[in-house]
Amino acid sequence: MNATLPRTTDNTASKLLNTVYARLTLLELSVNAMADDELDPSCQYFKIIHAEIAQAIAELSKAQKALNA
């Protein structure tokens, strides 16, 4: 996931990153809850979704740190 933030003020970019981070975190919690109820955690589809969410959260964290530096 190589997203480029639009040119904007640091404050607006920070708010955008925080919003996306929060939504991805909620999505991760939802996927984890689904795994408990409906999905087999060993299912390849579940592993791919979980890995993509984890990678996106890690990249957003790096972007937030860079923005705050």
The amino acid occupying position 34 is M
For residue 4, what pLDDT band results from cuts at 50, 70 and 90? low
Higher pLDDT, residue 21 or 10: 21
The per-residue pLDDT for range 21-57, each reduced to its tens digit, is: 888 888 878 777 776 656 666 677 777 777 888 888 8
Confidence of residue 67 (pLDDT cuts 50, 70, 90): confident
The encoded tokens of residue 47 equal: 């592993």
Task: Match 């530096």 to its residue by tokens.
Answer: 69
Residue 40 confidence (pLDDT): 64
Give Cα 69 distance to the centre of its chain. 21
Residue 32, C-beta contacts closer than 8 angstroms, at least 6 positions apart: 50
How far apart CA 44 and CA 33 sit, in angstroms, is 17
Taking the whole predicted model, whether its pTM rises above 0.75 is answered as no
